[in-house]
Amino acid sequence: MNKNSGKKKLFVISGSSGVGKGTVLKSFLTKNPNFMLSISCTTRAPRKGEVDGVNYFFLSKDEFQNCIDNDKFLEWAEFAGNRYGTKKKYIKQCLEEGKDIILEIDTQGALQVKKQMPEAVLIFICPPSLETLENRLRGRHTEDEATIQKRMQEVKTELERAEKFDYKVINDDLANAVAELEKVIIGEQKC
């Protein structure tokens, strides 16, 4: 048994909208079911097929503000017109129960987590090119044109913030990206 095997880690996965975070993570979690994926809160409307309490906790603007006012969030951010946040309680509970936890959040939230928990491991998923990123975002058919434009406008700042991350994984070929993510996470668990 390695000497730090009892120490649990918090992994933060970020990247621009449409880069494939959800797709890469789904494959990773199927192969590594022992990780807990945090369920965020959001003021965004559910997409077709999204379920409250599974994909997100969908909150009204007032409910979200109430969580901010009562200091319920480990981090929260406004992204492309909606608010998103991670509840402290769930993260604390998972770490106390000895579970490795993964957050899939935006770059602003990731840097907030790092400030509060410097031991958190930040992983940025990069697109092979900006053109591919936009094609993936459009190809998903979940956002209207105005929302796609808003999300693409965030990309430059997101790439700048990525310089502060611990690791970058390029999501070109999906299987390679999942293998690279696995290498980073399993490697960090051994530290």
- Under DSSP, is residue 177 helix (H, G, I), strand (E, B) or coil? helix
Q: Which residue is nearest to ligand 5GP (CB)?
A: 109
Residue 88 interacting entry, from ligand 5GP, ligand ADP, none, C-beta within 5 to 8 Å by type: none
**Is the Cβ of residue 1 or residue 175 nearer to ligand ADP in the bound state?**
175
CB of 90 to ligand 5GP, least distance (A): 11
Restricting to residues 116-145, which ones interact with ligand ADP according to CB under 6 A?
Answer: 136, 139-140
109 binds ligand ADP (CB under 6 A): no
Q: Quick one: 4 or 81, whose CB is closer to ligand 5GP?
A: 81
Residues within window 28-67 making contact with ligand 5GP, judged by CB under 6 A: 40, 44
Closest CA to 170 of 5, 40, 15: 15
DSSP of 21-73? HHHHHHHHHHH-TTSEEPPPEESSPPPTT--BTTTBEE--HHHHHHHHHTT-E
Is residue 100 at the binding interface for ligand 5GP, with CB under 6 A as the rule? no
What's phi and psi for 173, nearest 5 deg?
A: -80, 130
Pull the structure tokens for residue 47.
């997409």
CB 21 within 8 A of CB 111: no
Site residues (CB under 6 A) for ligand ADP? 15, 17-23, 136, 139-140, 171, 174, 177
Known binding residues for ATP: 15-22
